[in-house]
């Protein structure tokens, strides 16, 4: 069997399905991850390759991340207004929760009772979010790459392109950002770009002359990146046949969209493993914490893994800023746009853009899936 035919067959499993029976689970940020450890041989192999782990380390990390994901919302509620953010520490396998000075002894006991570690921080998550919101109102020049709240550093990080750091507009933005609240400036090698590409045969879906990747099946269609097509645009599958149309699309400001599915196509709760891992069943959409491992499936570079680096980051593309994005250390390339980010068996988001490639490395952002579901009133198709 040829490689081309094998890839087409895999795409059919994702798009056309095989009569898989699936339950309907409302997608919320508090959906509990599956109790079954999502540790297939292929997944473990990808984590070993991309994260430099042994098989035993990968298995242990998956289990620890699953525990951390389950307790994060409990620890947040216990901290209340003192909550200063949370992050997963891969070295210890624990979730750390930041709290502001003056947190009550009762709240500290309740947080620790969840199994989380506690660290005192200067600024609350609410204060940092307010600082980021002020930055979101500022016009950003091209030399400003992105900005986000870093819970571990307890600051809002502004990323600027190293080659443009002396640019007057960049310096003006940084000066105004520092006036907005606790801000730290970091330098990056290059600016982010989206990952759409020209038509290449045999890959998941096309709109006009653009190839992108399917994100996750929802009841009635699938979600993907907004920059891949405007509302009303027609969508063709890997075999060139009509699937449906973009029912909603937003880019920039957001980077999400959803496409209805019909004309003999239907949806299944599957993320394509491309032969690197077994195809992944999607069982929910519990949000993985900062520091957790995450993997991406896309039509160009297939399956790659990394870690969650930051959440709620504003990314300044040349087309305009996109807000509430999650940054990862996973690589991607043109054509991967819209593809799935998944942690274990929990849907995380759809690929937006980034910098670098899968030969030399890079970073990629995704639009969180729960935001897309809530925006359009969609229900994730789960196994």
Query: Could you tell me the CA-to-CA distances from 150 to 131, 156, 339 in Å, in that order?
Result: 12, 6, 25
CB-CB contact of 58 with 39 (8 Å): yes
Least Cα distance to 124 among 94, 149, 104, 88 occurs for 149
CB-CB contact of 266 with 17 (8 Å): yes
Q: What's 272's DSSP letter?
A: -
Give 165's Cβ-side CA count (13 Å radius).
12
Active-site residue, 150 included? no
Distance CA 255, CA 268 (A): 23
CB-CB contact of 336 with 353 (8 Å): no
The neighbour count for residue 59, using CB atoms within 10 Å, is 16
The neighbour count for residue 79, using CB atoms within 10 Å, is 26
DSSP reduced 3-state for 175: helix
Active-site position among 31, 150, 255, 345: 255
Active-site position among 86, 293, 329, 337: 337
Active-site residue, 45 included? no
Active-site residue, 57 included? no
CB-CB contact of 332 with 168 (8 Å): no
Return the bridge partners of 304, or none.
296
CB-CB contact of 257 with 373 (8 Å): no
Active-site position among 227, 302, 304, 381: 227
Task: Give 3-state DSSP helix, strand, coil % of the chain, rounded to 5.
Answer: 25, 35, 40
Distance CA 383, CA 381 (A): 7
Least Cα distance to 326 among 291, 283, 276 occurs for 291
What is the CA angle 97-321-145, rounded to 5? 70
DSSP reduced 3-state for 59: helix
The neighbour count for residue 272, using CB atoms within 10 Å, is 25
Residues that are catalytic: 227, 255, 337
């Amino acid at each position: 069997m040829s490689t081309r035919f094998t890839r087409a067959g895999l795409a059919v499993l994702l798009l056309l399905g095989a009569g898989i029976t699936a339950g309907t689970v409302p997608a919320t940020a508090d959906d509990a991850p599956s109790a079954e450890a999502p540790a297939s041989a292929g997944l473990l192999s990808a984590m070993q390759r991309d994260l430099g782990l042994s098989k035993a380390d990968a298995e242990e990390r998956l289990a620890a991340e699953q525990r951390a994901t389950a307790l994060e919302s409990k620890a947040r509620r216990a901290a209340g207004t003192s909550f200063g953010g949370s992050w997963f520490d891969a070295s210890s396998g624990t979730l750390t929760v930041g709290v502001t000075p003056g947190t009550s002894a009762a709240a500290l006991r309740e947080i620790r009772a969840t199994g989380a570690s506690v660290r005192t921080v200067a600024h609350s998550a609410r204060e940092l979010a307010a600082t980021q919101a002020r930055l979101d109102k500022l016009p950003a020049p091209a030399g400003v790459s992105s900005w986000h709240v870093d819970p571990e550093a307890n600051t809002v990080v502004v990323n600027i392109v190293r080659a443009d750091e002396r640019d007057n507009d960049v310096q003006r933005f940084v000066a105004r950002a520092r006036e907005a609240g606790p801000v730290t400036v970091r330098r990056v090698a290059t600016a982010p770009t989206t990952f759409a590409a020209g038509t290449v045969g045999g890959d998941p879906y096309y709109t006009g002359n653009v190839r992108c990747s399917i994100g996750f099946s929802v009841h009635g269609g699938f979600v993907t990146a907004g920059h891949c097509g405007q509302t009303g645009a027609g969508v063709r599958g890997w075999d060139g046949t009509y699937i449906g149309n973009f029912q909603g699309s937003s880019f920039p400001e957001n980077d999400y969209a959803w496409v209805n599915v019909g004309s003999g196509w239907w949806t299944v709760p599957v993320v394509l493993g491309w032969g690197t891992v077994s195809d992944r069943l999607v069982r929910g959409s519990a949000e993985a914490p900062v520091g957790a491992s995450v993997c991406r499936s896309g039509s160009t570079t297939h399956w790659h893994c990394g870690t969650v680096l930051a959440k709620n980051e504003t990314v300044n593309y040349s087309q305009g800023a996109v807000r509430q994005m999650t940054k990862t250390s996973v690589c991607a390339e043109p054509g991967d746009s819209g593809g799935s980010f998944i942690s274990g068996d929990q849907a995380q988001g759809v690929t937006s853009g980034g910098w670098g490639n899968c030969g030399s490395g890079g970073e990629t952002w995704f639009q969180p899936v729960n935001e897309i579901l809530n925006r359009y009133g969609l229900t994730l198709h789960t196994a």
